[in-house]
Amino acid sequence: MSETPASTVPPAPPQGSLKSLILVLGACGFASTFTMRLLDPLVPTLAAEFTRSIAQVAAVATAFAFAYAVGQPFLGPIADSIGKLRTIAVCLGALALLSLAAGFAGSFEMLTGVRTVAGIAAGGVIPVAMAAIGDRAPMAERQIMLGRFLVLMIVGQMVGAACSGLIAEHLGWRYVFVMAGAIAGIAGMLVVLVLKPRPNASRPPLSFKTALTSYAAVFANPRSKLLYGLVVVEGSLIFGMPPYIAAILHERADVGPSQAGLVIAGTGLGGIIYGVLTRILVERLGPTRMTTLGGIVMGFAYALFSLAFLPWWSAVAIFTLSGFGFFLMHGTFQAQATELAPTARGSAVALFACALFCGHALGPVLMGAALHLFGTSSAILIFAAGIAVLGVLAPRILPLAGSRT
């Protein structure tokens, strides 16, 4: 169940209160995405450290994403019952401890295990924060508020990708995880010290029956299955690439983790551009055109990345373009998810995140198979075509609320 009573739409909170909420939850998103993306530039480094193949190290990202997805059906009802802010604070505390443990991992198996459990903890941050924003922002403003939240969250993705490579080259990869733990701990403290739960929130007691009731409310909306299916496909096509970017660039131009981190950070820069322009994009394009344009832009960017003769630094601009396209599409899907079941918003957004990260877990496996079967350029082009087709078909499969026609 949600913190929002079923019978009424909550009044908009004061702008100062909403601003504080976005800033603090944005810091939480920063901490979560910092932890999530920091491994990608380190794949060749960790492969050499633990004498493993690139595919084996890339599979750690799959384990993290799979755990993230598996935890969602449980974290959604927990957040609805004990409170979203409390859930975020506890998960950030756990993420801080697990990140520190990863920094002291003595074996590849230990690193994989710790990162897998960290995926569950990370799953209690961004989806729950989105649901909290959904509880407080009216639908007319929600995608704009989520866009501002995404700006701060994406900065974490950029810093995580860029800094992890730099820190690994100059201090060692273990210090990357230590920094991630410190950031998660600080974000958790901000939630406790700055944000307060709403005193009039309706929170049912946590029970298996309550969870089933929440999910029944979500799937009572026929749009839910369609949206979640689209998001699984989206996650597979988008997140199959990042674990292999460093290895592809190393093979092409012998670049190190710091340069690869800058390239991966380009995705975040594209997201920031989206966040700054969200209001204009929503008002002038509407969800349908944003989704279609996002798929086409991502497909074009991936097609450019398939051209091996381009200099490595051109990939920064390519992934900036890809990131902008991704958030055009995904930001629209996120806003739709917050309105699937207003009386069970935490559960609805948790299932949305579950679907996304099921795709996130599947993507590297599919990309690895494509790379093996077809080679680098052909595999990238296959994913590029799939993303473009998804952008064109998604609004036809699921008419988007608030669309311009």
Sequential DSSP letters for 176-194: HHHHHHHHHHHHHHHHHHH
Q: How many C-beta atoms surround the C-beta of residue 372 within 10 A? A: 10
CATH class assigned to 15-196+210-397: mainly alpha
Q: What is the pLDDT of residue 142?
A: 66
- Token pair for 111: 């690193």
| The pLDDT value given to residue 184 | 94
- In degrees, rounded to 5, the angle at the alpha carbon of residue 110 between the alpha carbons of residues 108 and 114 is 120
Cα distances (Å, whole numbers) of residue 37 to 71, 154, 303, 320: 19, 10, 23, 15
State pLDDT tens for residues 115-168. Answer: 999 999 998 998 888 888 877 776 666 667 777 787 777 777 777 777 787 888
> Confidence class of residue 288 from pLDDT cuts 50, 70 and 90?
confident
Over residues 67-86, mean pLDDT: 84
Work out the average pLDDT over 161-185: 87
Three-state secondary structure call for residue 151: helix
